[in-house]
């Protein structure tokens, strides 16, 4: 058994290594889920250290996909292609007028400022009606006001400086009451660079946040698709398709290898061989 299994493992490892670098595979396939539909909005983040952009694609059947393309490695040359094997997409529950998603980008610990609110239906980077933007002395961009077309519950203090915005979020994300509107929360580029990719979404890192606050913010994931399974693919999400294929291919290769070796070992002597003649 030992002699059969170990060569098989070697073969399977070799197959896996052959398959694994076939990257772009998962990434390329990932992209077919986002049809080349109408781009409803594109937000370019102009901050020096923030290198990603948000694009919302319309999809048939009333679903929209928001795809964020972080590309920390090439901040001035923003690439829509994800790092291989990682897919980031986000399904908005419904793309009608009353469900405009908000993308709030909080500054990270370094204090770089950038906050912006986007509307699904607008392509104009200007602020939506009813909102005022003001840059504070500290450099924070403060957005205040309300959107008349939003559900009333959304009107309080959105996009105020990070602390108050988080406070507003905190009151919203009570235990049984996840957020009342599609609201995306993410962090700035520094956080992106320092945190694992799968924590990008809804990862709110803020100064002086208590564990309780963090646990309350976990409810955001209840509302928004786009946590682990979106990042890592469909099912089961703890491994990427590429890994599954590699492991599967390797296992099958190993099985075949064992079979071939067993057959070779147990190959009957040729009828005309001296051994056969002797036994005969």
The residue (of 107 and 119) whose beta carbon lies closer to another protein is: 119
Query: CA 132 → CA 24, 118, 142, 217, distances in Å?
Result: 43, 13, 8, 26
Shortest Å distance, C-beta 224 to another protein: 8
* Phi, then psi, of 267 in degrees rounded to 5: -60, 125
Q: H/E/C letters for each residue in 11-53?
A: HHHHHHHHHCCCCCHHHHHHHCCCCCCCEEEEEECCCCCCCEE
Region of 157 on the Ramachandran plot (φ > 0 left; ψ -120 to 50 alpha; else beta): left
> Which has the closest alpha carbon to 31: 71, 78, 89?
89
The residue (of 92 and 162) whose beta carbon lies closer to another protein is: 92
> Which has the closest alpha carbon to 185: 148, 140, 217?
217
The residue (of 111 and 248) whose beta carbon lies closer to another protein is: 248
The residue (of 112 and 260) whose beta carbon lies closer to another protein is: 260
CA distance 130 to 147: 6
The residue (of 114 and 219) whose beta carbon lies closer to another protein is: 219
The residue (of 179 and 188) whose beta carbon lies closer to another protein is: 179
Shortest Å distance, C-beta 228 to another protein: 9
Which spans of this chain sit near another protein (rule: CB under 8 A)? Answer: 1, 4-5, 8, 26, 29, 33, 62-63, 91, 93-94, 96, 98-99, 151-153, 176-182, 219, 222-225, 229-230, 233-237, 240-245, 247-256, 258-259, 262-263
Shortest Å distance, C-beta 173 to another protein: 10
| CB-based burial label for 126 (10 Å; 0-12, 13-18, 19+) | exposed
Shortest Å distance, C-beta 165 to another protein: 19
Shortest Å distance, C-beta 44 to another protein: 27
* C-alpha 195 chain-centroid distance: 13
Shortest Å distance, C-beta 67 to another protein: 13
């Amino acid at each position: 058994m030992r002699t059969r299994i170990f060569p098989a493992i070697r073969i399977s490892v070799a197959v896996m290594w052959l398959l694994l670098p076939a990257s772009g595979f998962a990434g390329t396939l990932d992209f077919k889920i986002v049809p080349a539909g109408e781009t409803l909005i594109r937000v370019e983040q102009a901050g020096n250290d923030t290198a990603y952009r948000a694009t919302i694609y319309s999809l048939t059947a009333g679903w929209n996909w928001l795809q964020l393309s972080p590309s920390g490695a090439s901040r001035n040359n923003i690439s829509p292609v994800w790092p291989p094997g990682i897919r980031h997409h986000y399904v908005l529950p419904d793309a009608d007028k009353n469900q405009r998603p908000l993308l709030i980008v909080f500054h990270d610990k370094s204090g770089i400022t950038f906050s912006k609110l986007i509307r699904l239906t607008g392509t104009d980077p200007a602020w939506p009606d009813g909102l005022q933007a003001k840059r504070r002395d500290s450099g924070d961009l403060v957005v205040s006001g309300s959107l008349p077309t939003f559900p009333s519950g959304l009107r309080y203090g959105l996009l105020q400086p990070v602390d108050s915005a988080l406070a507003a979020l905190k009151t919203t994300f009570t235990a049984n009451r996840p957020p009342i509107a599609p609201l995306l929360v993410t962090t700035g580029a520094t956080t992106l660079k320092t945190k694992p990719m799968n924590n990008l979404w809804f990862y709110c890192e803020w100064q002086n946040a208590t564990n309780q606050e963090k646990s309350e913010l976990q409810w955001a994931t209840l509302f928004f698709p786009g946590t682990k399974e979106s990042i890592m693919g469909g099912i089961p999400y703890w491994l990427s398709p590429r890994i599954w294929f590699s492991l599967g291919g390797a296992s099958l290769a190993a099985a075949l290898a064992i079979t071939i070796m067993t057959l070779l070992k147990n190959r009957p002597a040729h009828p005309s061989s001296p051994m056969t003649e002797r036994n005969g």
